[in-house]
Amino acid sequence: ALGFATLAQACTGIRLIAKDGAVIAARTLEFGFDLHSQVLVVPAGTPLTGTLPDGGKGISYKTKYGFLGANAEGMTAIVDGINDQGLYVGLFYFPDYASYADVTAENAARALAPYEYANWLLGNFASVDEVKANFNKAVLVPTVVAAIGQAPPVHFVVHDRSGKSLVIEPVNKTLKIYDNPLGVVTNSPTFDWHMINLRNYLNLSAINVPPLNLGGMKLAQLGQGSGLHGLPGDFTPPSRFVRAVAFSQSALPSATAREAVLQAFHILDNFDIPYGAVRDVEGGQVHAEVTTWTSVSDLQNLRWYFRTYGDQSIRSVDLAKAMAAAGGKIKLIPMGSEQTIEDVSTDFE
């Protein structure tokens, strides 16, 4: 569990808005081992139940909306996904700060595991405003995931097709909610700390620094990018948060949703972890974190895009098509595939 805790802290999330109004939510998923993620398709009308720490049943509900996205370790639980109303929810690791409620006789019927919270949000709500009005009607309790030996410490980002965004964090055994005007999220510490930390980087700009005259001598920049000199380049959550804000806010708006989807993938290339660049040693064994997959969600056209460490080609899942093909049943679509390399040696004009 310790290796998991120290090697799951590098997820980065951004939001873009295209000129045609399309809202694009995107994120990376980093881990120290393969989560065996698949695309989980959950139709509207599916009965779901929360899981208590003792294995008992918590909250029970039937999904009002259909949703899909990536799961982990074969669980019927969304790590990152969208519903048929254009609501997006993403789980992000939140070590050392996540704190879940104790199960009591009073709250057991409203309780669920942290990794089941995205299902509840996507299955029941259509917008950020609805989530804001109802987010604490469910209770997050410390249900352990066997594969990692602990209740995963997570917090959540929520976007909708209007462009509104918020972050929900389990702190001091209760849920705290923040508006997220920039649409960015990483990991620990708490979201409000990250927003305050941005004030340390007010000097940064996407515009190059003009030449400076010193003692009659003109000193010009050595090359492009001088406005962002000092931008933190490491993989810690605070540095990634600052970088994600800088890149998403300076991005020139794409004309269409499709262009913004591709732009989001390009931005997140800057957060891709080269294998071996981030590692920990536990019991003499080296654990290297890697960008397991990257996803982009088009909240206007209801498409969920992804690429994986093993296959950088972009694949998509159209929510309407997937729901129609699922026939009202929970279905899984494989994400694992092998990268193809196309030989164009003789593809002359």
The 10 Å Cβ neighbour count of residue 288 is: 15
Q: Are 293 and 307 in contact (CB under 8 A)?
A: yes
Q: 156 forms bridges with which residues in the sheet?
A: 91, 168
Q: Are 4 and 148 in contact (CB under 8 A)?
A: yes
Place of tokens 């959540």: 156
The two structure tokens encoding residue 167 = 């972050």
From 232, 273, 339, select the one nearest 7 (Cα to Cα): 273
Contacts of 300 (CB under 8 A, 6+ apart): 20, 21, 22, 23, 86, 161, 257
Q: Is 241 a catalytic residue?
A: no
**What is the rounded distance in angstroms from the CA atom of residue 85 to the CA atom of residue 137?**
20
**What is the rounded distance in angstroms from the CA atom of residue 235 to the CA atom of residue 280?**
13
| Chain length of the chain | 349
265: three-class secondary structure by DSSP: helix
Query: Catalytic residue among 11, 29, 68, 103, which?
Result: 11
Please, where are the H alpha helices in the chain?
2-6, 117-124, 128-134, 191-197, 237-250, 257-269, 319-326
3-class SS letters over 49-98: EEECCCCCEEEEEECCCCEEEECCCCCCCCCEEEECCCCEEEEEECCCCC
3-class SS letters over 124-150: HCCCHHHHHHHHHHCEECCCCECCCCE
**What is the rounded distance in angstroms from the CA atom of residue 43 to the CA atom of residue 119?**
11
DSSP 252: P
Residues annotated as catalytic are 11
